[in-house]
Amino acid sequence: MRIITFVSALFLSSNLAWGEDTFIQEHSYNYNFDSVNVGTDPNGGSLVTTFDSLNLNDINLSISGWSDVERLDEHDNWDYKRVVRAEVQKVFDYGWAVKNSLEDEGSHQTIDNSTGQYPDYDFILLSFSEEVQLDRLNFGWADFENGSQEVSVAAITDTGFNKLTSENSTWSSIISDAVSSSFSIERLSHNRGVSNLNFSSTAKYWLVGAYNTVFGTTSSGSTLNDAFKIAGLGFSNTTETKTNTEVSEPGALALMSLGLGLVLYRRKRRV
């Protein structure tokens, strides 16, 4: 029995020479919309790739435009509520904008929340190939001359994405299970601006658009006067890496010696 005890002590000690470490790393990305693939599926097609050279983690991103400019039912008279696809346009060097079906052709396009006397809300859908946290939005142009500017943002689920792409839903139903909020746009110089977001949630699909109180309100927000072009964004993600580590040989020998010493001590006391 003593021999079995001794062997067991050595076996347990040798097991202690191995362990597993977990490393949580956060990666931050900055992306400017100089060129981008326009689509809804980030896992197919020729997509823009954002590259983290240190950790070799690449994330694909595509964008698409959406606006509530279609009739939902017979009671939806002019003040339309149904969200359908809209055209995404690059406006010179200012950034990306949305042209919905109620707007005229031209180079003046923005992401806005008003067409005449009726509100309609333009949004861009950011589709990532994996879940990320959206941290910042950069605006190459915003209509500060027309009052304070606000932006609405939502991290939507697969359910929300399916409602959006069905083109038979309202903004309120699309974000019914989403984490959403609205933010002020800080004026930097002339008509450029930035919004620093405070999300802690991650998602593959992010809606970014003109201020819509359905998404959340801001204390100084004014409605139906928001118009801007998105020039870039910042986002982050985390990765978990597990590695097996081996305790150094002196450490392993020390553990084995401790086990042997305990056995010898017990034998000496019994004599």
In the chain, the amino acid numbered 164 is L
Domain total for the chain?
1
Q: Which residues of the chain have pLDDT under 70?
A: 1-23, 34-36, 43-57, 116, 239-271
* Separation between Cα atoms, residue 76 and residue 64, nearest integer Å: 25
Q: Is residue 256 part of a domain?
A: no
Mean pLDDT of the chain: 80
CA distance from start to end of the chain? 16
Cβ contact 26:255 at 8 Å: no
Does residue 43 fall inside a structural domain?
yes
Structure tokens at 49: 């790739």
CA 107 to chain centre: 30
Q: Which H/E stretch holds residue 249?
A: helix 249-270
Q: What are the tokens at 71?
A: 């009739």
Which residues span the domain enclosing 142?
26-242
- For residue 124, the cross-strand partners are 65, 208
In a domain, 176, yes or no: yes
Please report the pLDDT score of residue 78 as a whole number: 75
126 touches 65 (CB < 8 A): no
pLDDT, residue 271, reads 52
The pLDDT value recorded for residue 25 is 75
Integer CA distances (angstroms), 240 to 66, 100, 148, 155, in order: 34, 41, 41, 22
